[in-house]
Each structure stands twice: as structure tokens, then as C-alpha cells.
């Protein structure tokens, strides 16, 4: 006689509660490794550890190690172009590993200094034995002493601006007369915008997210109004000049609609919705040589594909494109 076993289905409530418990526990564990947090669940970025400012301006001596999706590394690429340092300061690219959560070198890449370093953490340890901190890009590397000079983008761009003597052109992106103005804006823009988008995306509580997203859009609104009167961020209306403050804002703005708006939930508005910030972004993008430093596909792919806890399925959205960055603007009228 055929025996029929009666299978009892698990109650849906139990499945949902168990699933949520397991996922939440894993999510918090992975998030706290990817993004260190405060008691209140707010993202706290660890400080960079290599901070030398000593440069011996010789051609082919220094290299920048960069990942194309990284906004901090992008600052150094833009400054290298603006200062005409492409022929003197070399570039080494790294690529994010989808499963290891670290940057990898492309094997066989000619400029790679040590053939046995597969990953950026290997490279940091090779240059500074016993190093246990985070292995971040950008890195300014001295091939002569085989040491990392500096791994703080805010300082690397100042060094590229002022320490490469005759190797660089004479454009001053951090002029003495504007320094107080630049520093003040940099501090505000860093907290609310450059790091602000990460504070939104890496928030681990609703409260931390609400606070970060509020500050982000308040600051964007303020800058939009400032940029209605002047072409660039610093200097007075009619007399503004391109400075490092613009470089620093640019690399966040260009990633905004493509990645931060979606994956970091910075979605009260897009940059395209701002009357002046959108033209300002196009203006900077269209400076000769700058478009070549921007790799939109890498930005989209790396944010959506490699921040696993924020997008476990790894699906990369189709839009938006950035054809609109080529569109005309009337920013020159503000000069």
C-alpha cells in the first residue's frame, strides 16, 4: 500500500523572522568591517596613515596608484592633468576584487614595481613591513626609496600643486590669497558632501542616515546658490578662480547621479535637477583632459558590483548615462 507522508510547511512568519535575524546579523557584521561606525551607527572614516610632504621633483620618480571608481583617487588624476604632470608622475591602476574586498594589481602590468604583489595590502606591507592598517587608494609612491610618501588625497593634490617645481605648469590651484576661503569651503564640503555621501550610504541606523542626508542636501542647496553668482567656488563673484576646492567637489558630483543617488540613497534630488550645480559640473568636465580621467562604467560597476552589503544581488542599473555632460553650458558668462 502506498504511504503518503504529510509534509507540514513552516509558518511564513517563522521563515521571515529567521531570515531577517540571520541577514541583519550578517549585514551589521559586514558593514562594520567595510565601514567603521560610531555608537549611534554613523560612519566614521579612519584617518590616512602616510602623511609625508617631502618631494624631490625628478621625472619618473613618483607614481600614483589609483582605482578609477574612487573619488579620492580621482582628485589626484584631475590635479595631475591640470598641472601638466602626466609625463613626469606615473600611474598604476588597481581593480577591486569582487570577493576579497580589496584592490588588486593587474598582473603583468609593466609599471608594477614588485612582481610578487598581487593586492594593494601586499604592496603596502612590501613598502612598510608590519603595516596592518587599511590599504586605500590613492597612494603617492616614491620608486627611488620604494616607500609610500602619502596616502591622503587632500594632501597629495596639494603636493602635486606646489612641490613638483619645473616639472609642473605654473597654474596655482591653491593660491595664498584664497587659502582661508578654500580651506573653509573644503571643510564644509568634505563633511557634508565628499564624506557626506558615504555617511548616507554607510549609515547603520535610520537616525544616522537622516542626519547625513539632511546635511548633504542643505550643503548642495547652498553651493547651488553660490554658483549662481560665480563660475567657481572660490573668490568673489566675477573674480572666481579654479582651485583645489573645485577639484574636490567635482569628483563627488560626477559620481552623484550615477551611483550615490541610487546605492547610497542620496535621492532627494539629482545633480541634474540643480540649475547651477549641473552647469558647473559640465563646465569642469569639459576642461581639456578632464573627461579622460572619468570612467563612468568603472564607477557604476564598482559601486553597484562591489559593495556587497549594500547591493547583495550585484545588479548594475542601466542608467543614467552621462551624455548630458557634453551639453553646452553658459558658465563662462559668470567669469
Ligand X SMILES: N[C@@H](CCC(=O)N[C@@H](CS)C(=O)NCC(=O)O)C(=O)O
Determine, following the binding rule CB under 6 A, whether residue 204 of this chain makes contact with ligand X.
Answer: no
Q: What is the smallest separation between the CB atom of 13 and ligand X, expressed in angstroms?
A: 39
Task: Please give the helix or strand (H or E) that residue 121 lies within, else none.
Answer: helix 120-127
> Among 61, 134, 282, 329, which residue sits at the site for ligand X (rule: CB under 6 A)?
134
Q: Judge residue 302's burial from the number of C-beta atoms within 10 Å of its C-beta, 0-12 exposed, 13-18 middle, 19 or more buried.
A: buried
Active-site annotation holder among 43, 62, 124, 198: 198
> Among 152, 241, 246, 283, which residue sits at the site for ligand X (rule: CB under 6 A)?
152
> Bridge-partner residues for 150, per DSSP?
51, 140
Q: Is 111 helix (H, G, I), strand (E, B) or coil?
A: coil
Only one of the segments 84-92, 146-154, 180-188, 319-327 lies at the binding site for ligand X (rule: CB under 6 A); that segment is 146-154
Active-site annotation holder among 62, 70, 117, 127: 70
> Among 79, 88, 93, 153, which residue sits at the site for ligand X (rule: CB under 6 A)?
153
What are the CA-CA distances from residue 15 to residues 8, 23, 56, 95, 181 (Å)?
13, 12, 63, 38, 56
Give, as ranges, the residues between 45 and 74 that touch ligand X (CB under 6 A): 48, 70, 72
Question: Measured between alpha carbons, how far is 81 from 94 in angstroms, rounded to an integer?
Answer: 19
Verify whether residue 70 is a known catalytic residue: yes
User: All 3 cell numbers of residue 134?
Assistant: 587599511
Q: To 10 degrees, the CA torsion angle through 117, 120, 124, 127?
A: 40
Determine, following the binding rule CB under 6 A, whether residue 93 of this chain makes contact with ligand X.
Answer: no
* Of 49 and 221, CB closest to ligand X: 49
* Of 134 and 269, CB closest to ligand X: 134
For binding to ligand X (CB under 6 A), which residues are involved? 48, 70, 72, 134-138, 151-153
| Catalytic positions | 70, 198
Amino acid at each position: 500500500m502506498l504511504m503518503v507522508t504529510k509534509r507540514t510547511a513552516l509558518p511564513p512568519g517563522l521563515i521571515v523572522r529567521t531570515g531577517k535575524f540571520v541577514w541583519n546579523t550578517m549585514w551589521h557584521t559586514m558593514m562594520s568591517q567595510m565601514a567603521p561606525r560610531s555608537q549611534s551607527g554613523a560612519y566614521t572614516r579612519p584617518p590616512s596613515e602616510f602623511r609625508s610632504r617631502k618631494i624631490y621633483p625628478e621625472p619618473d620618480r613618483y607614481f600614483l596608484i589609483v582605482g578609477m571608481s574612487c573619488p579620492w583617487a580621482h582628485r589626484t588624476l584631475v590635479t595631475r592633468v591640470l598641472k601638466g604632470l602626466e609625463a613626469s608622475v606615473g600611474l598604476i591602476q588597481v581593480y577591486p576584487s569582487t570577493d576579497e574586498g580589496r584592490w588588486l594589481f593587474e598582473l603583468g602590468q609593466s609599471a608594477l614595481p614588485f612582481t610578487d604583489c598581487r593586492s594593494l595590502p601586499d604592496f603596502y606591507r612590501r613598502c612598510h613591513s608590519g603595516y596592518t592598517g587599511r590599504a586605500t587608494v590613492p597612494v603617492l609612491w616614491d620608486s627611488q626609496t620604494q616607500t609610500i610618501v602619502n596616502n591622503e588625497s587632500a594632501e597629495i593634490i596639494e603636493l602635486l600643486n606646489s612641490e613638483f617645481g619645473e616639472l609642473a605648469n605654473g597654474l596655482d590651484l591653491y593660491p595664498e590669497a584664497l587659502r582661508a576661503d578654500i580651506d573653509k569651503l573644503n571643510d564644509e564640503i568634505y563633511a557634508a558632501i565628499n564624506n557626506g555621501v558615504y555617511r548616507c550610504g554607510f549609515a547603520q541606523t535610520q537616525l544616522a542616515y537622516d542626519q547625513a542626508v539632511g546635511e548633504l542636501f542643505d550643503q548642495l542647496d547652498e553651493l547651488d546658490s553660490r554658483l549662481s553668482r560665480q563660475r567657481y567656488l572660490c573668490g568673489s563673484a566675477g573674480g572666481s578662480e579654479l582651485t583645489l576646492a573645485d577639484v574636490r567637489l567635482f569628483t563627488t558630483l560626477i559620481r552623484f547621479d550615477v551611483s550615490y543617488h541610487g546605492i547610497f540613497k542620496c535621492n532627494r534630488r539629482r545633480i541634474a535637477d540643480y540649475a547651477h550645480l549641473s552647469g558647473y559640473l559640465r563646465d569642469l568636465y569639459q576642461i581639456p583632459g578632464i573627461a579622460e580621467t572619468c570612467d563612468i562604467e568603472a564607477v557604476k560597476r564598482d559601486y553597484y558590483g562591489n559593495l556587497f552589503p549594500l547591493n547583495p544581488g550585484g545588479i548594475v542599473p542601466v542608467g543614467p548615462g552621462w551624455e548630458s555632460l557634453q551639453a553646452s553650458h553658459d558658465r563662462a558668462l559668470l567669469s
